[in-house]
Amino acid sequence: MKSQDETLEEWCRALLQALELDGVEIDINEVLSLAGVAAHSVVRPAAPLTTFIAGFAAGLASGSGQATDAVSMQAAMAVASKLAKDYAANEASDA
């Protein structure tokens, strides 16, 4: 029986291949960490929404030549993580 990590790595490779993104490096733990921050700082459904939007933004930045793939993804994830944490802090101060 495969571990969760093995299953996620296999799924990630299969999805990248199906989307013709062979060779793209994905830090699964970093993506899952961002999802966790969004889920716990905003609401649970914010997790997939946040990771999708961060990935979309990174793709646009990279595709337009603003930055490399890695830099685009790191920047988008950093913005999303900070925004989610700030959202939680603002909600707590409004309560």
Q: How confident is the model at residue 91 (pLDDT cuts 50, 70, 90)?
A: confident
CB under 8 Å to 88, separation ≥6 — which residues? 40, 41, 42
CA distance 44 to 68: 30
Residue-by-residue DSSP string for the chain: ---HHHHHHHHHHHHHHHTT-TT----HHHHHHHHHHHHHHT-TTHHHHHHHHHHHHHHHHHHTTSS-HHHHHHHHHHHHHHHHHHHHHHHHHH-
Over the stretch 58-89, which tens digit does the pLDDT of each residue have? 999 999 999 999 999 999 999 999 999 999 99
Over the stretch 2-56, which tens digit does the pLDDT of each residue have? 999 999 999 999 999 999 998 889 999 999 999 999 999 999 999 999 999 999 9
Q: Is 27 left (phi over 0), alpha (psi -120 to 50) or beta?
A: beta
- pLDDT for the residue numbered 50: 98
- pLDDT for the residue numbered 94: 81
Helix (H) or strand (E) holding 83: helix 69-94
